[in-house]
Chains A and B, each alone.
Chain A
Amino acid sequence: MKVLVPVKRVIDYNVKVRVKADHSNVDLANTKMAINPFCEIAIEEAVRLKEAGIATEIIAISIGDKSCQEQLRTALALGADRAIQIETDENLEALNIAKLLQKIVEEEKPQLVILGKQSIDSDNNQTGQMLAALTGMPQGTFASVVKVDGDKVNVTREVDGGLQTVALNLPAIITTDLRLNEPRYASLPNIMKAKRKPLVIKPAAEFGINLTARTKLLKVTPPVQRQAGIVVSSIDELVEKLKNEAKVIS
Chain B
Amino acid sequence: MSSTSLLFKLQEKLGALLISSSVKYPDEVLLKVKADNFQPCCKTLHEYLRSPVMMLFANDRRKTSNSYEVIAVFAAYVYKSWVQVSIDIPADDPRFPSLAKSIYSANLFEREIKELFGIEAEGHPDLRRLHLHDEVWPVGNYPLRKDFTGTALGSELSPYKFSHVEGEGIFEVPVGPVHAGIIGPGHFRFSVAGEPIINLELRLGFTHRGVEKHFEGRKCLEAVTLAECVSGDSSFAHSLAYSMAVEKICGLKEDLNTGYTRGIFLELERMYNHANDLGGMATDVGFSFPAALASVLKEEILQLNDDLTGHRYLKNINQPGELSLEIDQVKKDILKMSLPQIEEDFAELAQLLNNSASFLDRTENTGTLRQKTAEDLGIVGLAARASGIPNDIRKSFSEIHKEAEMTMAIEQGGDCLARLKVRITEFTESVRLIKTFLAKLTPDRRPNYTPAANWPKAGKALGYAEGWRGPVLYWLETAENGSISRCKIVDPSFHNWPGLSYAVLGDIIPDFPLCNKSFDLSYAGNDL
Partners in one complex: no
